[in-house]
């Protein structure tokens, strides 16, 4: 079967990879002149279903538990299985108990346990939650590698033209925010992020800093860089990062460690993430088109499950319940 996948973000590329593995003839069309643009390239890349359960529904956990295995099988060596560390400042220490009460898969650490995991955080926090089974990856590196693998397998990519008119039997629309206002119930949620660069600090895993108003996460990247994110604003505005968000993200990073006060601000980014009312993704059919959308803030975590559902629809296999 000849398939056209529209969109080369995390949803489109994971669908293309899944369908390639099932032997489909796939073409990927992207209206931009490169892959992994938009919100996908600005993501944290955290494969953290247990942490996300704090503010998300149960399917985020049940569907996301196998994400790290999927990415590791597709891109060996790109997944860092080092867990997630969740901390809170002295006045916000009660947030840890609240977070623990809404999640599972964690263990308590004292100050010595925190220092053993992240020596540069020694003495900064008295206790933390450690989600040992979680993982992370670099979204840009992962999607570039996925694209390279698909190109090596001779998959066709049509960039700079989202209206590819070649011969195909089914369309898989993975265009994300471009469908806001066209798919019922789909809305935009603005997310803003920063990248900081400093050689004065080392982190081995994502660290989430809890705060009643401005919780953030910090994810280590190569080259002494750290992704700091992310705001969640009910807006479809994709304009530059606001001064308020910039100050909130920088202040929170400084609260995690003062070394961020001397870090270089090397990037700011804004992405509009598509979301349905329940903030869960959906795979829907409309004639010969299958829509994969609503990945919200769970793109890398839930895209593999959505890709598997697309494959089941095309193969007409019965849906398997998440476990």
Q: Please state, in angstroms and rounded to a whole number, the distance separating the CA atoms of residues 69 and 73.
A: 6
Range 2-64+137-181+277-315 has CATH code 3.50.50.60 = yes
How many residues make up the chain in this entry? 323
The pLDDT value recorded for residue 314 is 96
Q: Return phi, psi of residue 270, to 5°.
A: -130, 130
Question: Looking at the domain 84-132+187-275, which fold is it?
Answer: D-Amino Acid Oxidase; Chain A, domain 2 (3.30.9)
Q: Which long-range contacts (CB under 8 A, 24 or more apart) does 122-129 make?
A: 124/87, 124/256, 124/257, 125/87, 125/88, 125/89, 126/90, 126/93, 127/93, 127/96, 128/85, 128/86, 128/87, 128/96, 129/85, 129/86, 129/96, 129/99, 129/100, 129/103
Q: Return phi, psi of residue 4, to 5°.
A: -110, 120
10-21 and 139-152 helices, crossing angle to 10°:
40
Helices (H) and strands (E) in the chain, counts: 9, 16
Single pTM value for the model: 0.94
According to DSSP H, which parts of 153-221 are helical? none
Closest by Cα among 107, 126, 130, 104 to 117: 130
Q: Please state, in angstroms and rounded to a whole number, the distance separating the CA atoms of residues 11 and 231.
A: 21
**First-to-last CA distance in the chain?**
30
- The domain segmentation of the chain, as residue ranges, is 2-64+137-181+277-315, 84-132+187-275
Largest CA-CA distance found in the chain, in angstroms, rounded: 62
Assigned token pair, 184: 């019922």
Contact 275, 186 (CB under 8 A): yes
Q: Please state, in angstroms and rounded to a whole number, the distance separating the CA atoms of residues 135 and 112.
A: 22
How does pLDDT run along the chain (323 residues), one tens digit per residue? 899 999 999 999 999 999 999 999 999 999 988 887 778 999 999 999 999 999 999 999 999 999 999 999 999 999 999 999 999 998 898 999 999 999 999 999 999 999 999 999 999 999 999 999 999 999 999 999 999 999 999 999 999 876 676 788 999 999 999 999 999 999 999 999 999 999 999 999 999 999 887 889 999 999 999 999 989 999 999 999 999 999 999 999 999 999 999 999 999 999 999 999 999 999 999 999 999 999 999 999 999 999 999 999 999 854 445 43
Assigned token pair, 61: 């956990």
Same fold, 2-64+137-181+277-315 and 84-132+187-275: no
The pLDDT value recorded for residue 165 is 65
Q: Please state, in angstroms and rounded to a whole number, the distance separating the CA atoms of residues 144 and 68.
A: 17
Judged on CB neighbours under 10 Å (0-12, 13-18, 19+), 98 is middle
Contact 82, 205 (CB under 8 A): yes
The pLDDT value recorded for residue 320 is 46
Q: What is the DSSP letter of 287?
A: T
The pLDDT value recorded for residue 322 is 45
């Amino acid at each position: 079967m000849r398939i056209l996948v529209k969109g080369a973000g995390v949803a489109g590329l994971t669908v293309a990879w899944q369908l390639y593995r099932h032997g489909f003839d796939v073409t990927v069309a992207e209206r931009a002149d490169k892959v992994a643009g938009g919100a996908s390239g600005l993501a944290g890349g955290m494969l953290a279903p247990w942490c996300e359960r704090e503010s998300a529904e149960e399917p985020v956990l049940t569907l996301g538990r196998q994400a790290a295995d999927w990415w590791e099988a597709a891109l060996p060596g790109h997944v860092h299985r080092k867990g997630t560390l969740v901390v809170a400042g002295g006045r916000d220490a009660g947030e840890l108990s609240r977070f623990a009460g809404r999640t599972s898969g964690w263990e308590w650490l004292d100050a010595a346990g925190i220092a053993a995991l992240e020596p540069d955080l020694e003495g900064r926090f008295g206790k933390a939650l450690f989600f040992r089974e979680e993982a992370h990856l670099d979204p840009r590196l992962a999607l570039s590698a996925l694209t390279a693998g698909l190109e090596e397998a001779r998959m066709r990519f049509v960039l700079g033209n989202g209206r590819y008119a070649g011969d195909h039997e089914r369309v898989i629309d993975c265009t994300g925010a471009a469908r806001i206002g066209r798919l019922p119930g789909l809305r935009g949620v603005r997310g803003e992020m920063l990248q900081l660069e400093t050689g004065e600090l080392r982190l081995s895993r994502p660290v989430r800093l809890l705060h009643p108003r401005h919780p953030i996460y910090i994810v280590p990247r190569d080259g002494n860089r750290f992704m700091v994110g992310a705001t969640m604003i009910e807006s479809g505005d994709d304009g530059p990062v606001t001064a308020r968000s910039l100050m909130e993200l920088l202040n929170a990073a400084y609260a995690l460690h003062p070394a961020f006060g001397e870090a270089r601000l090397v990037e700011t980014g804004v992405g509009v993430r598509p979301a349905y009312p329940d903030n869960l993704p959906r795979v829907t059919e409309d004639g010969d088109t299958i829509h994969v959308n609503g990945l919200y803030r769970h793109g890398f975590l839930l895209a593999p499950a959505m890709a598997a559902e697309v494959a089941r629809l095309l193969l007409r296999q019965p849906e398997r319940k998440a476990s």
